[in-house]
Structure 1
Amino acid sequence: MEKTGCPRLHATVPWHWQVKNHAGNWCNILVIQAKELERAYQDPAIDKIKVSPMQRKHVTNYGCEIIKLLGKGWCEANFTAMTMKSSDGSQTFELRRLSTPSSSVSDSEHATPYEWFFQDRKKWIPMENSQDIETFYQVESSVFMTFKQNKYEYTLDFESMTRQNLDTEKQTAIRRRPKKRPELQPRELKMRSSRKAKLPPSWEATDNTQVSLLAPLSSGCTEFLEIGKRMADFFHKVKDVEIVRVQNPTLFLPLKNKVTEITKRRKRKPLVLRLFHWPRQDQVDTICRDNFSPRLQHPAITYEYGRGTYFVRSVSRYSDTCGPGKGERGVVFVADVLLDGYVEGDNTMNSPPKIPGSTNTYGTTVDSQHMPTVYVKFSKRDYCPRYVVHFTA
């Protein structure tokens, strides 16, 4: 929080994020959440994100103050309005980003490089003359900049953040964003190479002291689009979809190691399905940290195929009983689930029965032996959360 004395913010990275409290003072957002904001802000396609919950563990007094201000749940940051909502949605605070001077006017090694983009349909395209635009933006007092590119003449309006083609009179939106910097993956946060090699290449580097990292996905990235295809029918019925990648090595690696063990033993790789799981709405953070369990899944699930953790092939299964009411926010998980033999289950099963003629048990019970759509699991090494999907019904 702001204090009297030195007017500068002292930080270990060349940027930081703050919100303004009711007294008009600017309060620093915790480092982990600030990094989430910075990563998202670098992508011009992202208008707003859900920032992961702020934990009270291992924080200073100022950390407790920001948690008291914003709450302990997910907070929504809006980069267009530069605002941040409290976790319960009842309050909206002004949001700002601080950084070192632009590299267009500073030779410092810590200066911040920027890039300019224009919107073409739904895509954000880098401008060829970004450096010239940034210099003009920093040096000149005018809110208008006119330049020629190819055979057209354009005017930029820095007040409305638009670009107009003076020949066709077509107007498009523009955005200024910091370029990606290595400070978001500092040396002390890099994973050991042997461990990192076992993790998905799309994962961002995490602090070894962190249990998990929740990384918001851009709506145009490959992962978001792939999940969209799997949930296409469901997505047509909902809106305001946001997807967060769950990066938790303590949950991902046990499943991966079990798959490796089975592959070595049987000389063939077992099937791993990507399924859906309906949770209790207030247990999302616990699942991301500790994994799924029967006590954390939605109370509408009645254990008709066994008293384990339920996963479904189609997200629409149980959506009527587990989904939110019209206009309300809801959440569903995308999970990786090991399928290593299954049998039809019933509500008396606390664990899968033995395989006939063997001392081993089935790993899964299902709703139908021939065409299963519901899978019930009983071992935490057989599954892990991969994505959290937030939506409005």
Structure 2
Amino acid sequence: MDNNIEKDNSGKSSFSGARQKQHYNNSRGRGRQRSSHSKNRESPPEYRRQRKTSNQRITSWSYYHEGDVEIPEICVYSIDKRCMYEDTGCLRLHAKCTCQWQVIQDGKWFNFRNFHSEELENAFLDVTKDSVKITPLDPKLLGSSGRDMIKILGNGQWEADFENLTLKNLTSQSILTSKLFIRRLSTQSAAVSKSGKATKYEWYFCDSKKKWIKYGDVDSLGHNHLVPLITSDEIELNFSSDSSVQMMFNNSLYRYQLDFKTMKQKNLNTGKERSVRRRPVKKQSTKPNPRGKKENLPSTWDSMKDNDTMIKVSLDVSSQEYCDVMSQLLITVPAARVVSIMRIQNPFLWRPFQNKQAELAIKYDGYEKLNIQKLFHGTRHEFIDDICKKNFDWRLHGSSTGQAYGRGSYFSNSAAYSLKYAKQDSSGHCFLFLVEVIIGKVTRGIESMKRPPLNPATSELFDTTVDNVDSSKIFVKYDSQEYYPLYTIQVKC
């Protein structure tokens, strides 16, 4: 390993960029070879004693504001903190997820906030979408690094164009530019990497009915004789190997040319051109639960034994499910040091929650009017199992928070706020719940309320009391069937 070290201008030892590139190139296709990226960062001695200097490269993380990296990829080893170059400056972007969206300004790339990156990614996964509007930034909900993005985007409306990889300003704010360029960073393609965290892509062409058809499938008109004699995986391998070289292929009648630069497929016999798209495949976070449909349980739940009433499942840090939870957490706690995220599978709490949604959907004439949100709740370690088994009970789990807005269970859309009520355990860890909550109709609460007051507009009770009707941060619930604890999040305080 000492051969990988060279002296920088200050005389300190550092891993060279060239050696990093060689290491990553050599590791392509070898999968998760943990031996070369072990957690033991105590060797060699020069690596251990190294101090950051003004000339030393610093590893960029996806939650930093600035995201310039020499190699525009996600470091696959950073996802589970096994990158041997983290302390000396990895050439790739470090992240807890397999992708990150960025925007460029004045020649520098900046990381979108996690919720924006998630919005872009969710839309990009859908091959039929060529654009998406992203949520305007709210300075009240952003941390310090998030507020830096305000300087670039302001708080107006922007629309991402996936075809041209641009961001268009839809609001008339003269101080901001009208268009910015964006890019998507991800782990290496599964075509050239056997890592379980590699990104799998599919290739599609637009048929005569404007439907996006995966290569190797029959088009929307059922023309079996026009199916290309090439698969999506073969195209991805050619693209990943050398995207500057045009690809030739046939079907039973025609010969085609695929241009990766223009993303066009040309019929060399007729001259007809069709648009082509390359999109990532969403990873399934868990094995499907075979009982899911039968018992009206989420299909993403892991299998449970017949005598299981509740289980907790640790999420894989590379899964989309883990990234989705992290995205919400990092909005207000951008530097959160997460130890674990556990999914709570409790059919005896889930079914009543689903039944209550169905009941209120009839009352309000549609599910979309229920205003279901994912909110946080901070608590003590000793309450975790009881809440997972029996749900929240303010009489047992809420004594430390006070009851300023009603005598019920308290939730917040700010993880930072909820962390104030998450007491450290003996290991210095704090615990949050991410909870799915039916908000419904709201009114401002007061301390003496044992239930929501009457809504004069409907002559029925409000569903939730809040701290501020116009800009709510605190939500108080009185019916345990109107919320379900989805995840526990363990963080270093």
Q: TM-score, structure 1 length as denominator?
A: 0.51
Conserved 8 A contact 1:239-1:392: yes
Conserved 8 A contact 2:379-2:423: no
Q: Please give the secondary structure, in 1, of the residue aligned with 2:379.
A: coil
Q: Please give the secondary structure, in 1, of the residue aligned with 2:313.
A: strand
The letter for the 1-side match of 2:490 is H
- Report the equivalent of 1:206: 304
Conserved 8 A contact 2:379-2:432: yes
- Report the equivalent of 2:122: none
The letter for the 2-side match of 1:355 is N
Identity of aligned residues (%): 23
Match of 2:464 among 346, 364, 372: 364
Q: How many Å apart are 1:357 and its aligned residue?
A: 5.5
What does 1:8-23 correspond to in 2, within 5 Å? Answer: none
Once the two structures are superposed, residues 76-102 of structure 1 have per-residue CA deviations (whole angstroms, 9 ceiling, x without a partner) of xxx989xxxxxxxxxxxxxxxxxxxxx
Q: How many Å apart are 1:298 and its aligned residue?
A: 4.7
Q: How many Å apart are 1:323 and its aligned residue?
A: 4.4
Q: 1:192 to 1:126 in 2, by over 3 A?
A: closer
Match of 2:345 among 228, 239, 247: 247
The 2-side partners of 1:120 and 1:243 are apart by: 20
Once the two structures are superposed, residues 93-114 of structure 1 have per-residue CA deviations (whole angstroms, 9 ceiling, x without a partner) of xxxxxxxxxxxxxxxxxxxxxx
Conserved 8 A contact 2:292-2:301: no
- Report the equivalent of 1:180: none
- Report the equivalent of 2:390: 290
Match of 2:484 among 366, 378, 384: 384
Once the two structures are superposed, residues 234-259 of structure 1 have per-residue CA deviations (whole angstroms, 9 ceiling, x without a partner) of 55444242100001111112111221
Q: Please give the secondary structure, in 2, of the residue aligned with 1:231.
A: helix
The letter for the 1-side match of 2:412 is V
Once the two structures are superposed, residues 239-281 of structure 1 have per-residue CA deviations (whole angstroms, 9 ceiling, x without a partner) of 2421000011111121112212222343311221100011232
Q: CA RMSD in A?
A: 3.2
Once the two structures are superposed, residues 17-58 of structure 1 have per-residue CA deviations (whole angstroms, 9 ceiling, x without a partner) of xxxxxxxxxxxxxxxxxxxxxxxxxx9799xxxxxxxxxxxx
Q: 1:355 to 1:226 in 2, by over 3 A?
A: same
Q: 1:208 to 1:314 in 2, by over 3 A?
A: same
Q: 1:120 to 1:251 in 2, by over 3 A?
A: closer
Q: Please give the secondary structure, in 2, of the residue aligned with 1:226.
A: helix
Match of 1:260 among 358, 369, 389: 358
1:126 aligns with 2:226: no
The letter for the 2-side match of 1:281 is H
Once the two structures are superposed, residues 126-156 of structure 1 have per-residue CA deviations (whole angstroms, 9 ceiling, x without a partner) of 379xxxxxxxxxxxxxxxxxxxxxxxxxxxx
The 1-side partners of 2:39 and 2:415 are apart by: 32
1:341 aligns with 2:341: no
Higher relative contact order (CA 8 A, sep 6+): 1
Once the two structures are superposed, residues 180-217 of structure 1 have per-residue CA deviations (whole angstroms, 9 ceiling, x without a partner) of xxxx99xxx9537421xx22221111123111110000
- Report the equivalent of 2:240: none
Q: How many Å apart are 1:223 and its aligned residue?
A: 1.0
- Report the equivalent of 1:275: 375
Q: 1:318 to 1:326 in 2, by over 3 A?
A: farther
Conserved 8 A contact 1:304-1:346: yes
The letter for the 2-side match of 1:251 is L
The 1-side partners of 2:79 and 2:342 are apart by: 21
Which of the pair is proportionally richer in strand? 1
The letter for the 2-side match of 1:220 is S
Q: 1:280 to 1:127 in 2, by over 3 A?
A: closer
Conserved 8 A contact 2:408-2:450: yes
The letter for the 1-side match of 2:362 is K
Conserved 8 A contact 2:418-2:432: no
The 2-side partners of 1:382 and 1:369 are apart by: 19
Q: 1:242 to 1:262 in 2, by over 3 A?
A: same
The 2-side partners of 1:299 and 1:247 are apart by: 26
- Structure 2 residue runs without a partner (length 5+): 1-30, 41-74, 81-192, 197-286
- Report the equivalent of 1:218: 316
What does 1:1-393 correspond to in 2, within 5 Å? Answer: 120-122=76-78, 126=194, 191=291, 193-195=293-295, 198-269=296-367, 270-324=370-424, 328-356=428-456, 358-393=458-493
Q: 1:315 to 1:193 in 2, by over 3 A?
A: closer
The letter for the 2-side match of 1:199 is L
Conserved 8 A contact 1:344-1:366: yes
The 2-side partners of 1:353 and 1:123 are apart by: 48
Q: Please give the secondary structure, in 1, of the residue aligned with 2:416.
A: coil
The 1-side partners of 2:450 and 2:79 are apart by: 51
- Report the equivalent of 1:18: none
Conserved 8 A contact 1:277-1:334: yes
The 1-side partners of 2:76 and 2:293 are apart by: 40
The 1-side partners of 2:195 and 2:451 are apart by: 59
Conserved 8 A contact 2:419-2:430: no
- Structure 1 residue runs without a partner (length 5+): 1-42, 47-78, 82-118, 129-183
Q: Please give the secondary structure, in 1, of the residue aligned with 2:475.
A: strand
Conserved 8 A contact 2:292-2:298: no
Conserved 8 A contact 1:243-1:388: yes
